[in-house]
Amino acid sequence: MSRSGGAPREIAVPTSVFGSLRRELEEEAGSLPTVRALHGAGYHAGLAAAAAVHHQAGGDAFAMTQSGFWSHLQSYFWKRGWGTLTHRVVHDTVGMLSSTDWAEVVEGAVDPDASCCFSTGFLSGLLSQLAGGPVAVLEVECRTRGGASCDFAFGSEGAIHELDGRLLEGVDLDGALAAL
């Protein structure tokens, strides 16, 4: 829902909502349905959030320079309590968004199966809406899984699918990116 002439309405909730949602959904539906549900909900929330990004950029986020766009996006997430977010190009077809303090992380927990499923969907929906076409996102490292940061690779569906396949084969991230 948006206010007349403005960005969509937003609310603030404690970051613990992510862990609570995950636990409750896993109890009711199991692990894989939970991942799918959180990713899907995040994707639709990201689609809606794109209007706020455009609005705060003066109506067109893509009228900015590339560095201006990424700076604006970093500010968008920081102001909403998601955490710091940095962007870097890691391959001709893949970019990376990273954070050492991302909000979806379950603090104090180390779970080898956990990841930022809502965030992955959110970033995919947001970037897809802003780009006017599909942008796939894959979390390649997660602090809840014991990583130093949450790292989200993004790019075309083909590139991200290929990257994911190589990672599942046991190739490290640098090797998987080099093989793209």
Q: How high is the pLDDT of residue 60?
A: 79
Which band of pLDDT confidence, cut at 50, 70 and 90, is reported for residue 10? confident
**Which of 18-34 are b and which e, b meaning 16 or more Cβ less than 10 Å from the residue's Cβ?**
bbebbeebeeeeeeeeb
pLDDT-derived band at 61 (thresholds 50, 70, 90) equals: confident
> Mean pLDDT over residues 102-122, rounded?
86
User: pLDDT at position 1, please?
Assistant: 46
What is the dihedral angle through the alpha carbons of 174, 99, 162, 172, rounded to the nearest 10 degrees? 30
pLDDT in tens, 22-37: 999 999 999 999 999 9
Return d(Cα 84, Cα 124) in angstroms, integer. 18
pLDDT of 176 over the 80 cut: yes
Strand 136-141 versus strand 86-91 pairing type: unpaired
**pLDDT at 142 > cutoff 90:** yes
Give the pair of three-digit tokens for residue 13: 């909730």
Q: How confident is the model at residue 6 (pLDDT cuts 50, 70, 90)?
A: low
Query: What pLDDT was estimated at residue 58?
Result: 82
- Domain spans, the chain: 16-178
Coil, helix or strand at residue 33: helix
C-alpha torsion 11→108→151→115, nearest 10: -80
**pLDDT given for residue 7 in this prediction:** 67
CATH number for the domain running over 16-178? 3.30.1380.20
CA angle 63, 64, 67 (to 5 degrees): 150
